[in-house]
Amino acid sequence: MNKIKPTVVLLPTDNRPITYSFPQSICQLANLNTIVPPRNLMGSLFAPTDLGLLAKWLEEAMGKVQAGAILVCIDSLLYGGLIPSRRGNDSLKTILARAADFVKLKKQVSGDLKLNAQSSIMRISDNNDNTEEKLYWAKYGREIFRWSQLLHKKEIGLLKSEAELKVAESRIKADVREDYLDTRARNFAVNQKLIDYAVSGDLDFLIFSQDDSGQYGLNVFEKDKLIALAEAKNAHNVLAYPGADEMLMTLIARYLNSERKTETKVALHYSEPDGKNIASNYEGQNIGRSMECQANAQGLKIIDSDISSSTVDFHIIVHTGVDRQGDHMWLPGLPDLRLVDTKHSAKRAIELIEKAQAPIALCDIAYSNGADPGLISLMLERPRLFDRLWSYAGWNTTGNAVGSALAVASACLYARAHNELNDLMRKRVLFMRLMDDWAYQTQVRKEIQPDKLVGKDRQSVLSKLMNGYASKLATVLDFQPGPIQCTLPWQRTFEVEINLDSQFVTTMS
SS3 of 419-453: CCCCHHHHHHHHHHHHHHHHHHHHHHHHHCCCCCC
pLDDT score of 449: 85
Helix/strand/coil for 302: strand
Whole-angstrom distance, CA of residue 466 vs CA of residue 51: 36
Q: With beta carbons less than 8 A apart as the criterion, state whether 141 and 334 touch.
A: no
- For residue 189, the tally of other CB atoms under 10 A from its CB is 12
Tell me, yes or no, if the two domains 7-139+174-251 and 263-421 fold the same way. yes
Q: With beta carbons less than 8 A apart as the criterion, state whether 143 and 149 touch.
A: no
Pairing of strands 485-487, 497-499: antiparallel
Going by the DSSP 8-state scheme, the letter that residue 21 receives in this structure is I
pLDDT score of 457: 84
Whole-angstrom distance, CA of residue 66 vs CA of residue 236: 26
Does domain 263-421 correspond to CATH entry 1.20.1270?
no
pLDDT score of 125: 87
Residues 6 or more apart from 429 whose CB is under 8 A from it? Answer: 25, 26, 29, 391, 408
Tell me how many degrees the CA angle 274-278-282 measures, rounded to the nearest 5: 160
pLDDT score of 2: 54
- For residue 91, the tally of other CB atoms under 10 A from its CB is 9
Which residues are 242's β-sheet partners? 210
What are the residue boundaries of the structural domains of the chain, listed by start?
7-139+174-251, 263-421, 447-509
pLDDT score of 509: 27
Q: With beta carbons less than 8 A apart as the criterion, state whether 90 and 134 touch.
A: no
What global pTM score does this model have? 0.95
Pairing of strands 360-364, 285-286: unpaired
List strand residue ranges (DSSP E) for 238-325, in order: 238-242, 264-270, 279-280, 285-286, 300-302, 314-319
- For residue 311, the tally of other CB atoms under 10 A from its CB is 11
User: 115 — phi, psi (to 5°)?
Assistant: -115, 100
b/e map 28-49, b = 16+ CB within 10 Å: bbbbbbbbbbebebbbbbeebb
Q: With beta carbons less than 8 A apart as the criterion, state whether 182 and 122 touch.
A: no
pLDDT score of 214: 84
Fill in the amino acid letter for 361.
A
Does domain 7-139+174-251 correspond to CATH entry 3.40.50?
yes
Whole-angstrom distance, CA of residue 70 vs CA of residue 230: 22
Going by the DSSP 8-state scheme, the letter that residue 499 receives in this structure is E
Q: Which residues of the chain have pLDDT under 50?
A: 1, 503-509
